[in-house]
Amino acid sequence: MSIRFIDPVIMGLFLFLLGILIGRLWGFFKNRDQINYATKTYRSSSSYVLGISNLIAGERDLAIEELARAAKTDTERIELYIILGNLYREKGRLEKAIHIHRTVLHRKDLSPIDKEMAQLALGLDFLKAGLMERAKEAFQNIIDENPDNIEALMYLQKSCEEEREWQEAFGIRQRIMKATRSSDYSVSAFILAEWGIDKYRAGEFDEAIEIFDEAIDLYAQAYPAYEFLGKTYLEMGQLRKAAESWEKLIEITPDKAFLILPELYKVYRKLGTEESIIHYCDFLLDKNEKNWRAHLFLASVMNPNEKKSNITEKLFTALKLNLNSLLIHQQIWKFFLRGGLDIKDIKKYVKMTEEILFSDPFICTRCQYKISEFKRRCPHCRSWDTFVEEKM
């Protein structure tokens, strides 16, 4: 029996609708004289019911068609228009979504809750359209009326992140943490790290170092802070401090070691301590013997005069652990071109790769978005530190 997973966007819209309906019905049912009216209203719109049914079933086009038909005859149901606009947004029809949500906001009979929901929806329309200033204005309008609206604060934070306004984003994040009584500083640290990265790229190294240190103090696993702290020290010519920053990254977040191993090896060579890279590759394999990147990197830094069989063993171990990685195949091909593989090895390689399928190696655990190059933040759902390697 197969299990069918519900699209998270559809589930979100459904839960949004369910919350509205429960609130509305509760408001109605507190007055017994309105029970009959409420029942009649909610049962009479067949298009509304069909639209919601189609939405739950994942038939968005049919849901839009039925809800648009219901909106023509039921002008009082504010949530109907908000949901319809949200569906247009998800379909990419942003002008239509913006028009609907603006029309709702122009109504004079809006309750404070309805106004907040419509303003939030409009802000999300602008956010998806890339109109960041308008999006921030919409979210700020909500916060001005209700400073404790966490959802508006979160989207205002994301809007600032899109504009790389890291100082503002960090301040908003602190407000959210205080309001929710959260002790999870991971997002705050990642925001600080990005702020430090911009300082590093601008050549403001002292400020960058200060910000990276603050990020690490907030959240020890903030690997971008270690990564770019090392880059900053490298630019300043402080090779030993650069190496120490990257060594710390390996020790604290070994799954992110691949981000700095090549650069660390170059620094070791300049320091005359290139054998140290072997120690850290062994450290990574002690932590996880299935770390194919560590096996592959060891093969790449082994002395060319070493037995070819030792290098071949590392290459094939990496290949066995991740048959679909193009990076491994490229290194094997280079080794082959240098005369590193004999006929027996080539036959083994051909047999192992008869049915391979190259794939994007990273997938977001939040929204399932796939990319071929590692990123600190998902470009689709805008979540921090959610990419992991996809196993085929």
pLDDT tens per residue across span 181-195: 999 999 999 999 999
- Tell me the average pLDDT of the chain: 85
Nearest to 149 by CA among 188, 170, 123, 126: 123
Region 310-337 average pLDDT: 84
CA separation for the pair 149, 157 (Å, rounded) = 13
Q: Per this entry, what is the length of the chain?
A: 392
Nearest to 227 by CA among 157, 370, 215, 218: 215
Residue 384 pairs with which residues in a beta bridge?
A: 377
Residues 6+ apart with CB under 8 A from 5: none
Domain ranges of the chain: 8-144
Q: Which residue has the tokens 């702020």?
A: 195
The answer for 377, left when phi > 0, alpha when psi is -120 to 50, beta otherwise, is beta
Q: Are 263 and 288 in contact (CB under 8 A)?
A: no
pLDDT tens per residue across span 232-252: 999 999 999 999 999 999 999
CA separation for the pair 208, 81 (Å, rounded) = 47
Q: Which is more confidently placed, 333 or 291?
A: 291
Confidence bin at 29 (pLDDT 50/70/90): very low
pLDDT tens per residue across span 127-185: 999 999 999 999 999 999 999 899 999 999 999 999 999 999 999 999 999 999 999 99
Residue type for position 166? W
CATH code: domain 8-144 is: 1.25.40.10
CA separation for the pair 206, 153 (Å, rounded) = 31
DSSP secondary-structure letter at 7? P
Which H or E run contains 388?
A: strand 387-389
- Burial class from Cβ neighbours inside 10 Å (0-12, 13-18, 19+) for residue 37 reads exposed
Q: Which is more confidently placed, 45 or 13?
A: 45
Q: At what angle do helices 78-90 and 46-56 cross, to 10 degrees?
A: 40
Nearest to 279 by CA among 264, 239, 319: 264
CA separation for the pair 99, 17 (Å, rounded) = 20
Phi, psi of 364 (to 5 degrees): -75, 125
Confidence bin at 42 (pLDDT 50/70/90): very low
- With a cut of 80, say whether residue 341 has pLDDT above it: no
| Residues above pLDDT 70, as percent of the chain | 85
DSSP secondary-structure letter at 323? T
Q: At what angle do helices 223-235 and 186-201 cross, to 10 degrees?
A: 20
